[in-house]
Amino acid sequence: MRSRWGDPKRVFIALGLTSDIAEWVFYLPALVWWTVELGFSPLQLVGLGTALETTVLLAEVPTGVVADRWSRKWSIVAAHVLMGTAMVLAVVTLNYAVMLGAQVVFALGWTFRSGADIAWLTDEISELNERGELANTQATFEHATPDVSPIILQRHRLGLIVGPLALVPVMIFGRASPRVVIAIAGCFLVGSAFGFAATMSDAFRSRATRTYDDRPRALSILRTGLTTARRVRSIRLLVITMMFLGLGSESLDRLGFKHFLDIGEFDENSIVWTGVLFIALGFAGAAVVWLAERRIEGGIALPQLGSRLIVVSAIGAVAVAISPIAGIAIGLLLQDSTREAFDPVSAAWTNQHADDASRATVHSLVSQAHGVGEVVGGLSLAALAQATSITTAVLIAAAMWTCASLVSRRAAA
């Protein structure tokens, strides 16, 4: 049965916007709560991220196989339930161990969604194309695997506009109770899961030529995905690129914003000033994604575009490390907006080279490479920041991103 909304592109964008709103509304008050009110150290902050990334590392591929073996739709629904539950769990107590557990649950949910949503979109558009329902539209494709790159980037761009706008009420009400705002975000995400369960179709399971009995078994899907990641040159180099990116990501995601709050000394206005910065980051990211869309339409290779985005990210990281408060804000703006744009570019890059049977698994393997980098780099750079300074850790992150850019450029050669 087709989705009640009819257009898979519309459902795909709604999926993204729903989770984007919840995650933006969660992360702003959580970051201020952890950094300002609870006074977490660099190791404690990165510890939360490491718990998340370790879970991603362990669960990413198995949950990708689940989506490829059974149902991409229900993987997405499960993801929203788990992620929303984790947001609520994160604020029920001040116990740090429970917060770590919440990060584990959130990460598990994230892995269920990772790659499954793009694989679901590809399935739905493929089926419509096979039925001739996309005739005379821009979404008609001649190949078995449609190029959904424009839709991926469009969704990401819209999320970077809608998500920051949702922060306005957070900046107003979050000053009084960040924990209540976080809990509301979690409940919103869980509620959305029931809505998508009722409205999404599932071409992957209903397609007559792919019944439950003749679909590849889980181990076969995993082997196919690993073979693609190992033997397809573009995917292999993307995996290496993602690993280098991950090595530096945690130091900016956690410590970069702590550096901003520590240097700025905003105190009770921390959530307001951080909210203003987050909104600026979102709109800047949307602008960079829009530029990336134009460059892709102009024919630039995805690896080449990715390399340019990562170079700007590295420059932004250097600015965060060595600048006063205004320069830190500009550096965060540069590195965050370009990394946000790289996310859909890397997803489109992966989707171009993954086969239908193991699509979600290949996406998961690429994401897992980033997780490996974050686990290794996160703990190492957090310990370094604790022993020396955040500046040193961020400069090393910039060096890691420079290496990532060089590998990405090699993939374009």
What fold is seen in the domain 8-412?
Growth Hormone; Chain: A; (1.20.1250)
Q: What three-state secondary structure class fits 71?
A: coil
pLDDT for the residue numbered 215: 52
Tell me which amino acid residue 339 is.
Answer: R
240 and 346 in contact (C-beta within 8 Å)? no
- pLDDT of the chain, 413 residues: tens digit per residue: 444 455 888 889 999 899 999 998 898 888 888 888 888 888 888 888 888 888 888 888 888 888 878 888 899 999 999 999 999 999 988 999 999 999 999 999 998 988 788 888 888 888 777 666 554 334 433 345 567 878 888 888 998 889 888 888 888 777 777 888 889 999 999 999 998 888 888 766 655 344 444 455 667 777 887 888 888 889 899 999 999 999 988 788 878 888 888 888 777 778 888 888 889 988 999 999 999 989 988 888 899 999 999 999 999 999 999 988 889 999 999 999 999 899 989 988 888 887 777 777 888 888 888 888 888 888 888 889 888 988 999 999 999 999 999 999 998 76
Residue 271, both tokens: 């959530």
223 near 365, Cβ under 8 Å? Answer: no
For the chain, which residues make up each domain, given as ranges?
8-412
pLDDT, residue 49, reads: 83
Distance CA 276, CA 38 (A): 21
Q: What is the pLDDT of residue 186?
A: 93
Residue identified by tokens 């630039």 is 300
* The Cα angle at residue 47 between residues 34 and 254, in degrees rounded to 5: 55
Contact 83, 19 (CB under 8 A): yes
What is this structure's pTM? 0.74
pLDDT recorded at residue 145: 59
Measured between alpha carbons, how far is 318 from 331 in angstroms, rounded to an integer?
7
